[in-house]
Structure 1
Amino acid sequence: MNAKQYMLLVILLCGTWHSQAQQPLYLTAGKIEFEKKVNMYAQMEGEDDEWVQVIKKNMSQFRVTYHNLLFNGDSILYTPGRSNPDNSSMEFAPLGEDNIVFTNLTASQCVSQKKVYDERYLVKDSTRQIAWKLTNETRMIAGFECRRANALIMDSVYVVAFYTDAIIPAGGPESFNGLPGMILGVALPHDHVSWFATKVYAEAVPVKLLQAPAKGKASTNKTMQEELQTTMKRWGKYGQKNILAAML
């Protein structure tokens, strides 16, 4: 092989490697870590009670928690993740931090375990139906290019989500779903809370790990909401915020 032939071979090999490297990676199984961030001060706006002001002086503005999402095909399991030592000094934690949510996308079924103060609910219902409106805006999240979509849920909650079609299952954190790929970012701008993926692991996830929770007071979304409304009807705005957080 002469020098020209050798150089031509190198160029062809490099071109082949480059074209292969540019092929998108499509995931059907893996693990995602989400960072949930709540602006505690903003959620307390409008509350003038002295005890609220005392609480704000003794807590950080933002509460950050971590959650894991395991997925394999049509099965998705969202659970609490690693602890955040920065939260150890906070006496008040928003509802939803201990949520366990199992979703079967093919069956359009969702089973979630939710702790609301002293009660633990086991909610079995159909998956949330969300009328998404896609936009052309994109952003990078955890190394994936994601496209923005907007929606309104629960009649009045404005949702901004970012999904990637490089992760096939059409799920997301909590009960968010229904976009053409995995949701890696969700923000409720008017409610001052967000979930964004920090890491995505392309790894095998045994189906046996994707089990629905089984403990709690048997409920549906409707019966749980009705019970919370009865319990918190005298709590004013604070009660309504709690109901919203519990129903997500």
Structure 2
Amino acid sequence: MELGSWGARLSEAQKKQVAARLKNRLEKTYILTFDKVGSTFKEDEKLDVDVLSGATDTWGKNFSPGAQYKNVKTNELVQKQEFYGKNFLVKDKLPSIDWKMGAETKQIGGYTCYKATAAIPTADLTWYDFSWSELRAADKEKGEEVNMTEVTAWYTLNIPVSSGPSEYWGLPGLILEVNVGNTTMLCFKVVMNPEEKSSIEAPKKGKVVTKKEYKEIITGKMQEMRNNRGRQRPGRTGR
């Protein structure tokens, strides 16, 4: 989490206290279930509670990735999103990722992993999220070139499946780590041929939209909420 100018005023001890308090919200556990062509990716089901205040992160859930299904054979992505109590089913193509393969290797959980990098349109990675700063930047950049995000992935040829967490796919082995901006997704456990089989199926309930349409819906709703708040503020008269 970027603390910005506010964080600059904090001591190292205070920064550690903030990090400890937010750990439950900023560190999530997800489960990737896969076969040769299909995969599901969803958050491990547990109550998201701030252990110090007892509060649940209901605001954050409006802009968090929902349960996702990918099919690398049909180039299909289906993701369930809930926004202020309304369910959406986002159906779109998988992002086309032009990976640059490297020779660098490292070990992740006993697997030899190879490095790959790519520049991916930021909109393909943030379509379920919203920020006012992003909106202002988009207004300024209309007509200019597409904003890109640099991504580093580590994949293993020991598991020859062209899948990975979240939107990431398209390498000759399973992706076990992704680094993008200030976020790291790291695999800490792999279970091959589990005794209890999990179904790999796309979510089915919700209003069907594309990623672009979903982004437009949440952006419009946030602008509407801001405008409503502005109208509700009491006026002032000069004396």
TM-score, normalization by structure 1? 0.64
Separation (CA, whole Å) in 1 of partners of 2:194 and 2:33: 10
TM-score, normalization by structure 2? 0.66
| Contact persistence 1:135–1:149 (CA under 8 A) | yes
Question: Secondary structure of 2:188's match?
Answer: strand
Q: 1:204 to 1:137 in 2, by over 3 A?
A: same
Q: Deviation digits for residues 145-182 of structure 1, max 9, x if unmatched?
A: 11111112223222111111111221111121111111
Shift of 1:136: 2.0
Q: 1:82 to 1:105 in 2, by over 3 A?
A: same
Separation (CA, whole Å) in 2 of partners of 1:206 and 1:73: 18
| Aligned twin of 2:222 | 232
How well do the aligned residues superpose, as a CA RMSD in angstroms? 3.2
| Aligned twin of 2:21 | 60
Residue in structure 2 matching 1:106, options 37, 56, 73:
73
| Aligned twin of 1:36 | none
- State whether structure 2 residue 76 is matched by structure 1 residue 76: no
Larger of the two Rg values belongs to structure: 1
Residue in structure 2 matching 1:158, options 137, 145, 150:
150
The amino acid across from 2:100 in the alignment is K
Between 1 and 2, higher relative CO (CA 8 Å, sep ≥ 6) is seen in 1
| Contact persistence 1:70–1:205 (CA under 8 A) | no
Q: 1:230 to 1:178 in 2, by over 3 A?
A: same
Shift of 1:86: 7.5
Q: Deviation digits for residues 72-120 of structure 1, max 9, x if unmatched?
A: 2211111221538775446446456562111111111111112344433
The amino acid across from 1:214 in the alignment is K
| Contact persistence 1:121–1:218 (CA under 8 A) | yes
User: Higher strand fraction: Structure 1 or Structure 2?
Assistant: 1
| Contact persistence 1:169–1:182 (CA under 8 A) | yes
Shift of 1:69: 0.9
Number of residues of Structure 1 aligned to a counterpart in Structure 2: 187
Q: 1:142 to 1:99 in 2, by over 3 A?
A: farther
Separation (CA, whole Å) in 1 of partners of 2:77 and 2:69: 6
- State whether structure 2 residue 186 is matched by structure 1 residue 196: yes
Structure 2's unaligned 5+ residue stretches are 8-13, 123-146, 227-239
| Aligned twin of 2:165 | 173
Sequence identity, in percent? 25
Q: Deviation digits for residues 128-157 of structure 1, max 9, x if unmatched?
A: 111111222222222211111111222322
Question: Secondary structure of 1:209's match?
Answer: coil
Q: 1:141 to 1:124 in 2, by over 3 A?
A: same
The amino acid across from 1:45 in the alignment is G
